Amino acid sequence: MIGIAVVGYGYWGPNLVRNIAEIPGLDLVSVCDLDRDRLTGMQARYPTVEITDNFDEILGDSRIRAVAIATPVFSHFQLAMKALMAGKHVFVEKPMASSSDEARRMVEEAARRRLVLAVDHTFIHTGAVRKMREIADSGLGDVYYYDSVRVNLGLFQHDVSVIWDLAVHDLSIMDYVLREKPVAVSATGMSHVAGEPENIAYLTLFFDSKLIAHVHVNWLAPVKVRRTLIGGSNRMIVYDDLEPSEKIKVYDKGITLNGNPQRNGEKIHQMLVGYRTGDMYAPRLDRTEALARELTQFMECIESGNRPIADGNAGLRVVRVLEAATQSLAWRGRIVELEPARLIA
Amino acid sequence: MIGIAVVGYGYWGPNLVRNIAEIPGLDLVSVCDLDRDRLTGMQARYPTVEITDNFDEILGDSRIRAVAIATPVFSHFQLAMKALMAGKHVFVEKPMASSSDEARRMVEEAARRRLVLAVDHTFIHTGAVRKMREIADSGLGDVYYYDSVRVNLGLFQHDVSVIWDLAVHDLSIMDYVLREKPVAVSATGMSHVAGEPENIAYLTLFFDSKLIAHVHVNWLAPVKVRRTLIGGSNRMIVYDDLEPSEKIKVYDKGITLNGNPQRNGEKIHQMLVGYRTGDMYAPRLDRTEALARELTQFMECIESGNRPIADGNAGLRVVRVLEAATQSLAWRGRIVELEPARLIA
Amino acid sequence: MIGIAVVGYGYWGPNLVRNIAEIPGLDLVSVCDLDRDRLTGMQARYPTVEITDNFDEILGDSRIRAVAIATPVFSHFQLAMKALMAGKHVFVEKPMASSSDEARRMVEEAARRRLVLAVDHTFIHTGAVRKMREIADSGLGDVYYYDSVRVNLGLFQHDVSVIWDLAVHDLSIMDYVLREKPVAVSATGMSHVAGEPENIAYLTLFFDSKLIAHVHVNWLAPVKVRRTLIGGSNRMIVYDDLEPSEKIKVYDKGITLNGNPQRNGEKIHQMLVGYRTGDMYAPRLDRTEALARELTQFMECIESGNRPIADGNAGLRVVRVLEAATQSLAWRGRIVELEPARLIA
Amino acid sequence: MIGIAVVGYGYWGPNLVRNIAEIPGLDLVSVCDLDRDRLTGMQARYPTVEITDNFDEILGDSRIRAVAIATPVFSHFQLAMKALMAGKHVFVEKPMASSSDEARRMVEEAARRRLVLAVDHTFIHTGAVRKMREIADSGLGDVYYYDSVRVNLGLFQHDVSVIWDLAVHDLSIMDYVLREKPVAVSATGMSHVAGEPENIAYLTLFFDSKLIAHVHVNWLAPVKVRRTLIGGSNRMIVYDDLEPSEKIKVYDKGITLNGNPQRNGEKIHQMLVGYRTGDMYAPRLDRTEALARELTQFMECIESGNRPIADGNAGLRVVRVLEAATQSLAWRGRIVELEPARLIA
C-alpha cells in the first residue's frame, strides 16, 4: 500500500479522492485544502481520511509517500517542489506549471531524487485517445494535419487565458498521439472582457515534416464542440468527444498521387491527384475511467521505477507550447520557435 | 431587354446560362468558350442562343450590352478589361481577379466608363446570409468573433491555393454581414502534395475593434463541414449550410459584465462575468435561388445606374485579403496589414 | 419536518434517498431493503439514517408519516396498501401496480383515509415535459397526433414486458400533456427470447377526437432514441430527450385548409391543402432535477391536503392502458376499449 | 436497340425520360401525356422524341416494343393491360395497381404472353438497399425486426392514403431485403382532413417466424425522417437515407443467450441475457443512379427473357399488403391474414 495525500479540494480534487479511494494499492491518508469547509462533506463520505489546511503536515507525514496536487496552476511549482524535496512522488494537474522554467526545475528535481513525477494529462488515458494513438501508429500513413475545435460557453477564468485552460488538453493529446513534436507555433486570439485574458484563441503548430496542427479554443461559443480531425495519407480520423458511443470514426478516404508527370495542363493534373473513398468504421472503445487508469499507472511507476506515460517531460513539452503560443498571441501570429535543446533527456 | 453573353462554359457557366434564360429582362444572345464541344449540349437545350469560341465576336456584337465571365481566375482581368473597354457591363466570377492591382484597375475602368461591374459573391444572395446580415444589424450587439469552417475532400486545384478557392466564400460573406472591414491578416497553412499550392489553411483577420475573424479551409477533410459561428454581446449565431432547413440558429446566449469592481480574488471575479442562456430560434429563410436574385439585381443596376451589393469594390476588398493572406502564409503567420487608403471610393 | 422512509434500495432508491436528504422539509428516517448489503454503502454516506430489512418496523414507526416505495412492480400493491392502512402517505414508483384492480384499490384506500397517494411519473416534472404541456395548452391548436420512439439496447427484464418498462414513461407524459384521455388501444409486439416477455412493442391509442397516439418501445435497438413528435393544427413539437440543451423544438409548420370547394380534379385539391412553414424555436428549459420538484410537491400535498399532479388516478389511468395494451398485444392488434366508467372521480 | 415509350409525364416521367435517353440499348421513341403542354419543354430538350396525347398511337407503333407507365395509380391496370395485350413489355410505377385483383391479372397476362412485367420499386436498386440485402443474407443472423419511419411535411394526396404513397417504399424494400414474406398485417391510422384519406398510419407485419416489421408513415411531420432499424441476432443495421454519405451503419451489437437455466430469481436471469457491443462500420456504397440500373436491367430482361428483380409478383406481393393494411386500418388494427395461395408461381 502506498500512502498518498490529495492537495487541493476544489473542482478536480473530489475526482482524485473518489478514484484513489477505490484503487486497492493506494491508501488515501489525508486531504489538504486551505478552505476547511470544503473538506467537511468529503470526510462525511470518507470518515477514515484525515483532513488538514496545513501543507507542511503532509510533507512531514512519513506514511505519505506520494502527493496528488490539484490546486490552481500558479501554485503547482511551489507545492510540487516542496513535495519532491520532502521525498514524495508527485502527481500534478495540468498544466504542470506556469512557465517552462518552473516545469524544467520540477523535472530536474524529480530526476535528481529518482522520484516519479506524473502530470495529469487525463485525456490520454481515455479509450478514445488510446485508440487514436493505436491507429496513428499503424494505419494513418503520413500524418498531414491535426485539427481540433474545443469551444463552449465556458467558465471564464481570470488568471489564465483560454489557451492554458482548454488548449492544454489538445496539446497533451497531440503530444501522445503524434510521433513528431512541434518546432514552432503561431497563435492569434482576443479578449472581449476588458482587463481579462484572451477568451478565444487559434494556435497553429509547425513540425519538421509537412504535418500542421491547429487548435481553436473559445469560452464564448453558443454551442459545445469537441471535435478533432486527423488527416493521414492512408486514413483519416474524426474524434468527437460529445458522441455518446462512436467517439472515433476512421475513414478510409484520401487522395492518391500518381507519380509526378509533366504538367502540361489541367488534364495532366487531374491524373496527378485522385480521390479514394472506402468504408468508415467506429471501433469499440475501452470505457474504463481515465483517471482510474492513470492513478493506477502512477502507483505502478512508484513501485517499479518506470516512467509514467505523461511524465514531467511530457508536461514540460506542453507548457513550452503554451508559453510560446502566449508569446505569439501577443505578437498577433508571429512565429515563435520551440528550442528542442531546452528539453531534459 | 438587355442583351447578355456568357463567357466560359465550364463548372459554373451552365448555372449562369440556366438562370439568365429564365429572367424576363435578360436576353441571352451568345455563349463563348474555347472548347466548342462543351457548347454543343448547351445549344441543344437553348437552340436560339448563339455559340462562339471567339471572344472578339462578343466584344463586337452591338446587341450584347453585358458580359458574364465564368472563366479561370487568371483570365478574369484580361477578359473583363476588354469587355469594359468595349463598353459592356461586366458580371465576373469570384475571386474577381488574381491580384489587387488587377482588381483595382477593373474598378477604375468601370468607374471611368460608368459601367456596372458586379462580382459574383453568390452566397450573399442566399436567404441564410441575408438573414445573418439582418440579425447582425439589429440583434447581435457588438460582434466579438466570426469563425468559419469550410472543409471537405475536395477538388484539388493546381493554379490557386485552397484560400482562393474556398476562403473566398467566407471573406465575401464577412464583407457583407459585418459592418467593419479587416485591417490585418495572419495566415498559416500547408501543402501536402509536392509542387502544389496549399490544401489546408487557417486565416485570422483583425479589425480596429475587438472583433476577430477566423477561417479554416481544407481540401483534404474526411467529412464535409460548412459551419460558421458568430458571437455577439447580445446574441450568437450558428450558420450551418449543410442543414437542410434550419441553416441559421440564433442563440440568446452570452456573458454579462457587472461593472468593473475591484478584483480582490476569485469571488469578485465570479461577480464580474455572468452567463445568460435563453431561447434559440431558427428563422424561416427565403429559398429563392441566389444566382437568380443576383442576376436580376445586375440587370436592374444596368437599368438604374445603381451599384450592385457586391460591386467592384467589394470584389477588390476580398482580393486584397486573399493576397495578404497568401503573403502571411508564406511567412508562417506573420501579420500583414491591409492598407485602407488603396481602396477606391 | 415530515418523517419519511424509503422502501427498496435497488436501481431507483438511491435517487430517492439523495433527493430526500436535500429537501429541507423532509426528514429521511429510515431505508428498508430485504438485501441488507445494499444498505451498507448508503449508511456510510448518510450515517444518521436508520436501516432495516423489516417493512413492519417502518409501519410501526410513528416518526414516519410517509413512505416512498421503489421495489419491483409486483410488490407495489401489497406494500402501498399496508402503508396506507397504517396511515402513511405513499409515493410509489411507476407503474403504480401490476393491474388496474390493484391500482383502483390503492386509490380507494387513499381516498377513504384522506392520505396522499403520489405516483412517481418522473418525466412530467422535467422542464422539457412541463414546457410541452404549456405549449400544448396554448399554441398547438387541435392536437393531431402524438408519436414517441423509446428504444435502446436495454436491460431485458424477465417479469414485465417492454411495455410496462418503457411505454409507461410515454403514457404518463401523454396523460399529463394531452387534455384528452385515450378510449381504446391496439398493440403489437414480439418476444425474441424464448419464455421471456415481449422486448419490442408498438401501441396505438385512440381518442374520441381525431387525435391518434403511438409508442414504439424496444430493448433490442442498436442506437438509443428518445424522440417524440407532436403534431397540431397550428404548431408541431419535436421533443428529443437526448439533445443536451435543445430538447424541445417548436415548429411553426402545418397545413392550411381552404374551405371545402367542390373537387373537380387535382388543381382544386391543391387549393384545398396548403403548406405553411415558419420559424422554429427552442425555448429555454428549467433544469431543476425532476425528482426534487416531485418530492417537494409530495411534501406540500401532505401539508396542504392538495392532490399531486400525478395522483393515484393518473397512475391508474396509465396502468389501465398498459393492461389493455398487453391484452391487445396477445391478440395481435385487436382493439381493446378503455372503459371510462371504471375511473375513480 | 429496343424502342420504348414513356406514358405519363408528370412528377416521375421526366426521370424516366432522362435515364432512358442515356442508356445505349434503349431508343426513346415517344412520350405520351394527356396534357400536351407538359410535353413541350421535354421536346425542346429531346428534339428527336415524338410526343402524343393518344395512347393508342403508342399501342399501334411497331417500333415500340416496351412501355414505361408513370401515370396515377388508378390508371396503371388499364394502361398496362392494353400494352401487354398489344404485345409490349411493361415497366410500371409503384404501386403496381389499385388492387391485388388488378395486379394478379397483370401478372397473368404478362406470363401468358411471355412479356416482361417490371415494377418500378426504385429503392431496391440503390446502393444502400442492395448493401442491406447483402448484409441481411450474410451477417445479420436471425432477423428479429424491421422498423421504418418515413415521415415529412408532404404532399397530401387525395386519391390514395399515406400508406399507398409512402409505405409502398418500405414494403418493396422489405420484400427485397428479407427472405421471409409477411403472413398478416395490423394497421392503424387517422385522417386529419375531413373527407380525405389517412395522412398518418402505422403498419405491423407478422411473419411465420419471430420476425416482426413495422412502418410509420406520416404526411404531417415537422421534420423529415427516413430511418430504418433492422435487428438481427448477430448484427443490427441503421439505414438513414438522409445521411449524405454513411447511409448504412452496421452495428456489431446484440444479446447473447446462455442456455436455458432454471429461473430462480433475478441473478439467474441476468446470466440468461448478456449484451454484446463491438465495432460499427459504414460500408462504402455504390452511387449509381437507381433508375438507370433498373431500366438497364429491364432492357436486359427483354433481351434475355429473364425476370427482373422486381417482377409482377413482387409488385403483387406489395399491393396485397397495401390492400390488407387498408382493410385493417378501417378496423382499427384488427389483424388481416395474407393468403399465400393467391400468389402466382
Q: Cβ distance B227 to B240 under 8 Å?
A: yes
- What is the CB neighbour count within 10 angstroms for residue B259? 6
Helix (H) or strand (E) segment spanning residue A320: helix A312-330
Q: Which residue has the cell 417524440?
A: C228
Beta-strand pair B117-120/B89-93? parallel
Domain annotation covers residue A204:
yes
Rounded distance, CA A45 to CA A293, Å?
Answer: 23
Nearest CA in chain A to B142: A192
Q: How many CB atoms lie within 10 A of CB A225?
A: 19
pLDDT band at D272 (very low <50, low <70, confident <90, very high): low
d(CA C310, CA C278): 35
Of the candidate ranges B308-312, C265-269, D184-188, D282-286, the one whose mean pLDDT is the lowest: C265-269
In a domain, D342, yes or no: no
Same domain, A156 and A254: yes
CB neighbour list of residue B177: distance below 8 Å, 6 or more residues apart: B124, B129, B132, B133, B136, B146, B230
Q: What is residue A156's predicted lDDT score, i.e. its pLDDT? A: 83
Which of residues B24 and B339 earns the better pLDDT score? B24
Say what the pLDDT of residue C157 is: 85
| Same domain (yes/no): B147, B217 | yes
Residue B41 CB contacts under 8 Å (≥ 6 apart), including other chains = none
Is B26 part of a structural domain of the chain? yes
Give which of A329, A23, A15, A76 is closest to A190, Cα–Cα.
A329
B213 shares a domain with B150: yes
Residue B55 lies in a domain: yes
Backbone angles phi, psi at B222, to 5 degrees: -70, -20
Write down the number of H helices and E strands in chain B.
11, 15
Three-class SS of residue A123? helix
Which set of grid coordinates corresponds to residue D76? Answer: 396503371
CB contact under 8 A, B282 and C280: yes
Residues C68, C159: one domain? no
Among the listed ranges B72-76, C116-120, D44-48, D137-141, which one has the minimum average pLDDT value?
A: D44-48
Q: What is the pLDDT of residues D26-72, one digit of tens each?
A: 999 999 999 888 888 788 778 889 999 999 999 999 999 999 999 99
Bridge-based pairing of strands A200-206 and A184-190 is: antiparallel
How many CA atoms lie less than 13 Å away from C140 in the CB half-sphere?
Answer: 26
Burial pattern D131-169, b for ≥16 Cβ within 10 A else e, equals bbbebbeeebeebbbbbbbbbbbbebbbebbbbbbbbbb
Query: A275 and chain D: CB distance < 8 Å anywhere?
Result: no
Residue D284: its chain A contacts at CB < 8 A?
Answer: 252, 277-279
Choice between C8 and A36, residue whose per-residue pLDDT is larger: C8
| Residues A94 and A151 occupy one common structural domain | no
In whole angstroms, give the CA distance from residue B242 to residue D266. Answer: 48
Average pLDDT over residues A184-209: 96
> Does the residue D169 lie in any domain?
yes
CA B107/CA D306 separation, integer angstroms = 67
pLDDT tier, B275 (very low <50, low <70, confident <90, very high otherwise): confident
For the ranges A154-168, D91-105, D266-280, the lowest mean pLDDT is seen at D266-280
Instruction: Tell how strand B200-206 and strand B184-190 pair up.
Output: antiparallel
What pLDDT is attached to residue B171? 98
| Whether A184 and B332 lie within 8 Å, measured CB to CB | yes
**Paired strand residues for A27:** A3
ω into B261 cis (within 30 of 0): no
Confidence band of D340 (pLDDT split at 50, 70, 90): low
Q: What is the pLDDT of residue C340?
A: 66
Choose the closest CB to A279 out of D252, D278, D281.
D281
- C224 contacts chain A (CB < 8 A): yes
Alpha-carbon gap, residue D54 to B332, rounded angstroms? 71
Verify whether the Cβ–Cβ distance B45 to D47 is below 8 Å: no
Structure confidence at residue A267 (pLDDT): 45
Q: Which residues of B touch C278 (CB under 8 A)?
A: 284
Q: Point out the residue among B204, B257, B332 whose CB comes nearest to the CB of A193.
A: B257
**The total number of residues written for chain A in this structure:** 345
What is the pLDDT at residue B258? 65
For residues D114 and D201, state if they share a domain: no
Q: What is the pLDDT of residues C156-194, one digit of tens each?
A: 888 899 999 999 999 999 999 999 999 999 999 999 998
The model's confidence at residue B340, banded by pLDDT at 50, 70 and 90, is low
Within a domain: D11: yes
CB neighbours of B291 closer than 8 A, spacing ≥ 6? B15, B16, B19, B120, B122, B125
Neighbouring chains to D with at least 3 Cβ pairs closer than 8 Å: A, B, C
**Nearest residue of B to residue A334 by CA position?**
B334
Question: What would the pLDDT profile of C11-32 be if each residue is shown by its tens digit?
Answer: 999 999 999 999 999 999 999 9
Nearest to B231 among A188, A195, A220 (CB): A220
Secondary structure letter of residue D63 according to DSSP: T
DSSP B321-332: HHHHHHHHHHTT
Tell the residue number behind the cell numbers 458571437, with chain if given.
B231
pLDDT in tens, C143-158: 999 999 999 998 888 8
Looking at residue D275, what is its pLDDT?
Answer: 86
pLDDT tens across C224-239, in order? 999 999 999 999 999 9
Q: What is the CATH number of the domain that holds D237?
A: 3.30.360.10
The domain containing residue B252 runs over which residues?
124-288+322-337
Cell (9 digits) for A30: 489525508
Residues D162 and D249 in one domain: yes
Distance of CA A87 to the CA centre of its chain: 25
D158 band by pLDDT with thresholds 50, 70 and 90: confident
Query: Minimal Cα distance from A188: which residue of B?
Result: B204
Q: d(Cα B175, Cα B319) in Å, to the nearest integer?
A: 11
Statement: residue D235 has pLDDT above 60: yes
Phi, psi (deg, nearest 5) at residue B225: -130, 135
Pairing of strands A66-69, A143-153: unpaired
- In this predicted model, what pLDDT tens digit does every residue of B148-172 receive, in sequence order? 999 999 888 888 999 999 999 999 9
Q: Dihedral of CA C32/C33/C35/C37: which sign? A: negative
AA identity, residue C196: E
Q: B71 and B139 share a domain?
A: no
Confidence of residue C292 (pLDDT cuts 50, 70, 90): very high
Domain count, chain A: 2
Residue of B nearest to D45 (CA): B45
- C230 near C237, Cβ under 8 Å? yes
Taking the CA atoms of residue D223, residue D226, residue D227 and residue D228 in that order, the dihedral angle to the nearest 10 degrees is: 150
Which of C88, C82, C84 is closest to C66 using CA atoms?
C88
pLDDT in tens, C50-75: 999 999 999 999 999 999 999 999 99
Percentage of chain A exceeding pLDDT 90? 83
Distance from CA of D301 to the nearest CA of C (A): 36
**pLDDT for D258:** 65
Q: Does residue D326 fall inside a structural domain?
A: yes
CB B74 within 8 A of CB B102: no
d(CA B174, CA B145): 11
pLDDT level of residue C264 (50, 70, 90 thresholds): very low
Q: Judge contact between B199 and B216, C-beta under 8 A.
A: no
**Looking at chain B, which subunits does it touch, using at least 3 CB pairs closer than 8 Å as the criterion?**
A, C, D
Banded model confidence at residue A262, pLDDT cuts 50, 70, 90: very low
CB A232 within 8 A of CB A140: yes
Report the CATH number that the domain containing residue A39 is assigned in CATH: 3.40.50.720
- Measured CA to CA, the distance from residue B45 to residue B42 in angstroms comes to 5
**Mean pLDDT of the residues in chain D:** 92
Q: Which amino acid is at A185?
A: V
At a CB cut-off of 8 Å and minimum separation 6, what does A86 contact?
Answer: A59, A60
Reduce the DSSP state of residue C125 to 3 states and report it.
Answer: helix
**Other beta carbons less than 10 A from residue B37's beta carbon:** 8
DSSP A306: P
The alpha carbon of residue A141 is apart from the nearest alpha carbon of chain D, in Å, by: 20
Query: Rounded to an integer, what distance in angstroms lies between the CA atom of residue A122 and that of residue A130?
Result: 11
φ, ψ at A303 (rounded to 5°): -70, -40
Verify that D80 and D129 share a domain, yes or no: no
Give the pLDDT of residue C46. 86
Q: How far is A11 from chain B (nearest CA, A)?
A: 14
Residue A332 contacts B, CB cutoff 8 Å = yes
Distance CA D117, CA D102 (A): 13
* Residue A155: per-residue pLDDT: 81
Report d(CA B187, CA B214) in Å as an integer: 9
Q: pLDDT (tens digit, 9 = 90+) per residue, B96-151?
A: 999 999 999 999 999 999 999 999 999 999 999 999 999 999 989 999 999 999 99
Q: Is A268 on the interface with B (CB under 8 A)?
A: no
Distance from CA of C247 to the nearest CA of B (A): 11
**What tens digit of pLDDT does each residue of A40-80 get?**
878 877 888 999 999 999 999 999 999 999 999 999 999 99
Enumerate residues 6+ apart whose C-beta is below 8 A from C208. C180, C183
What whole-number percentage of chain D has pLDDT above 70?
A: 94
Q: Amino acid identity of D158?
A: H
Where residue D77 falls among pLDDT bands split at 50, 70, 90? very high
Q: Based on the domain organization, do A116 and A225 belong to the same domain?
A: no
Residue B271 has pLDDT above 80, yes or no: no
What is the four-CA torsion angle of A210, A211, A212, A215, rounded to 10 degrees? 180
What's the rounded Cα separation, in Å, for the pair D137 and D146? 14
**Residue among B297, B291, B321 nearest B116 (CA):** B297
- C212-218 vs C220-232, strand pairing mode: unpaired
DSSP C155-181: ---SSS-HIIIIIHHHHHHHHHH-SS-
Q: Phi/psi of residue B168, each to 5°? A: -55, -35
Mean of all residue pLDDT scores within chain A = 92
**Number of separate helices (H) and strands (E) present in chain C:** 11, 15
Neighbour count for residue C265 (Cβ, 10 Å): 8
The amino acid that residue D154 corresponds to is G
Q: Is the peptide bond before A283 cis (omega within 30 degrees of 0)?
A: no
Residues A207 and A329 in one domain: yes
Residue range A77-116, pLDDT digits in tens? 999 999 999 999 999 999 999 999 999 999 999 999 999 9
Q: Are residues D328 and D303 in the same domain?
A: no
Q: Is D345 part of a structural domain of the chain?
A: no
Q: What percent of chain C has pLDDT over 90?
A: 83
